[in-house]
Amino acid sequence: MSWAPLRLWLRSAAPPLYPVGPHRLAAPVCGVCRGPVRSGFARCYQCERQDQLGRGLLADAVVPISYALKGTAFADDLWRYKSMVAPAASARASVLALLLAFLADHGACVWRQAAMPPPSRLAVVPSGCGRPGPHPLLQLVSPCLRLPGCALALRPGRQGRDLDPDRFQAAGVAAGASVLLIDDTWVSGASAQSAAVALKRAGARHVAVVVVGRHVNPDDPRAGPLVAALAPALYDPSSCAVHPVSRRPSGPSISTNGI
């Protein structure tokens, strides 16, 4: 197995990213979701509220790979890859390559941040609209990872903007499981944290969320300092949101099916 071609492809053919990491940014960010936060506050309003609503059952770590700055090619890919009408092959390839490379290069950082062993289960945050069938991200990723899946089903009538412990029904969660929960886009985090609560209620001991793109709207005045601090960059295997000092990547930190 060689990861070099995947990283090379990411650096040559995929859209530029907006790397996450407070060490890189001259702007305050939320300690949970890395979104914009008022100066002097540790967490954003949404993460603070979710902590009140789901205390003790929230994700043990939330690790975004990149900011998804509205209007950029990367943010567009996060919608185009799952278009119900005509999913874009290039967007699907970019999202899959990024997720696999990140899990190989930084999975160990994520597990460490969540204080958990390598994951024993995989789950994907369902889309808010309750689209039928398997989630496009699960279809993309699950054939590549040697991880049994947990199912998360949206309960009828439970779409909302706040964390809702009853939004999802989780199944296939082994007692004491460590779950890798993947989300394509984090806006408020209500869906991902509701999914984490459902997984923990169903028996998961640990839940680590890997977010492909942390949504940022440049038109949101609260995001001004963060947007000003962001700069496009190519995928960097030596740096992620949770290890502040650049280091050389070691071997793959997650088992894959012959990537």
The reply to whether 30 sits near Zn ion by the rule CB under 5 A is yes
Interface segment toward Zn ion; rule CB under 5 A; list 12-20, 103-111, 149-157, 230-238: 103-111
- Alpha carbon distance, N-terminus to C-terminus of the chain: 6
Q: Do residues 136 and 81 lie in contact, with contact meaning Cβ atoms separated by under 8 Å?
A: yes
Beta strands at 151-154 and 168-171: parallel, antiparallel or unpaired: antiparallel
Among 6, 61, 91, 109, binds Zn ion (CB under 5 A): 109
Question: Could you give the angle at which helices 89-113 and 73-80 cross, rounded to 10 degrees?
Answer: 100
- Count of residues in contact with Zn ion, rule CB under 5 A: 10
Q: How far is the CB of 217 from Zn ion (least distance, A)?
A: 14
The reply to whether 97 sits near Zn ion by the rule CB under 5 A is no
Least Cα distance to 17 among 237, 242, 223, 231 occurs for 231
Interface segment toward Zn ion; rule CB under 5 A; list 141-149, 153-161, 191-199, 239-247: 239-247
The reply to whether 47 sits near Zn ion by the rule CB under 5 A is yes
The reply to whether 243 sits near Zn ion by the rule CB under 5 A is yes
The reply to whether 44 sits near Zn ion by the rule CB under 5 A is yes
Q: How far is the CB of 65 from Zn ion (least distance, A)?
A: 10
Token pair recorded at residue 199: 């997984």
Q: Which is nearer to Zn ion, 178 or 202 (CB)?
A: 178
Q: In sequence order, which ranges of the chain are alpha helices (DSSP H)?
A: 4-13, 45-53, 73-80, 89-113, 136-141, 190-201, 224-229
The reply to whether 6 sits near Zn ion by the rule CB under 5 A is no
Interface segment toward Zn ion; rule CB under 5 A; list 9-17, 106-114, 210-218, 227-235: 106-114
β strands within the chain, DSSP E? 61-69, 121-124, 151-154, 168-171, 178-186, 206-216
The reply to whether 240 sits near Zn ion by the rule CB under 5 A is yes
Residues that bind Zn ion (CB under 5 A): 30, 32-33, 35, 44, 47, 106, 109, 240, 243
